[in-house]
Chain A
Amino acid sequence: MKFTPLGCLAGLCLLAFRVDAGEVRAAVAANFTVPVQKIAEQFQADTGHSVKASYGSTGKFYSQIRNGAPFDVLLAADDTTPDRIGKEGLGDAASRFTYAIGKLVLWSKKPGYVDARGEILRGKFDKLAIANPRLAPYGVAAQETLESLGLWSGLQGRIVMGESISQTQQFADTGNADMAFVALSQTLKDGKTIEGSQWVVPRHLYNPIRQDAIVLTSVQDSEATEAFMKYLKGAKAIAIIRSFGYDLP
């Protein structure tokens, strides 16, 4: 968790002065880590409610929620898990909505390595990292992209898989993989592209990565949680979400 000291201080003051301030316990998909921190900061400044977020893979959260994990809301990396949670009565299906649509990029830490059209995928390289398609929606999108390009079967043996989209980026960040398919939100920092080179994969090469949020039945502070869900749909949150390269429906 990264809060600015000033933000923390402001939060503490608010907590001290506002007795009606609530807390939202959020399970958040790893690719949305930084955006949700920014949104939570704004949300707290505007409403006094705080957000306690845990970050991880959507599949892991699903298992935990099924087994009674103490969360009020899930911000998933896909739309199938929230759908399943709604159908199984673990969450409120009516509260479900798409808070962001993810974009896929091919990223390398080396400047000038990845070209503007992704031709490097047909060239010479040692290892390409993708998230495990069984576990991560961005892994599915990476596989779909490689399949659309007709490269999937030819690249077997050169593809390494991260268990989450964060580990996938870490493989490329340490230089152990030459490049990686990650979320656009991971290669943006303060609105600017981080060090390295990248190719934003055209939308027609993979199915849209719809990221849905849903309120869980284990919700404790429903007032703060409802306020947070409403805030996520508001102009301020949308501006932050867009600044990280996500689309909206």
Chain B
Amino acid sequence: MAYSEKVIDHYNNPRNVGSLDKSDPNVGTGMVGAPECGDVMKLQIKVDPVTGIIEDAKFKTFGCGSAIASSSLATEWLKGKTVSEAEQIKNTEIVSELALPPVKVHCSVLAEDAIKAAINDYKVKSGMVPGSGAKETVHA
């Protein structure tokens, strides 16, 4: 499969790889996918509680090059956005930015899901929305 230059660049130089402290109240963690499906993304955001701006974002991804690139790109886009701006990121924007072929669209969907899951986790932790309990479930 031929990859776009941008996918290759993100694969070779992934941005914002790593983990934030899950127990930090200002950190939201989203983990989506499943090992049996061949892709799992963990995406974390750290939000400034005063301004509501995402000051840091980190990811770790098990998956193909396009999945790695989608999540790497997502962290780039998240940084500096407010939570409500971040909620507007659409998988189709990731598809066009990375020139993903149709068979790789699901990678961008997963990245969007990861963003949503991370934001939701942050909101639950900061009491903005009611949580569903502390059970460690991976959403998809």
Determine if chain A interacts with chain B. no
**Chain A interface residues toward B at CB < 8 A:** none
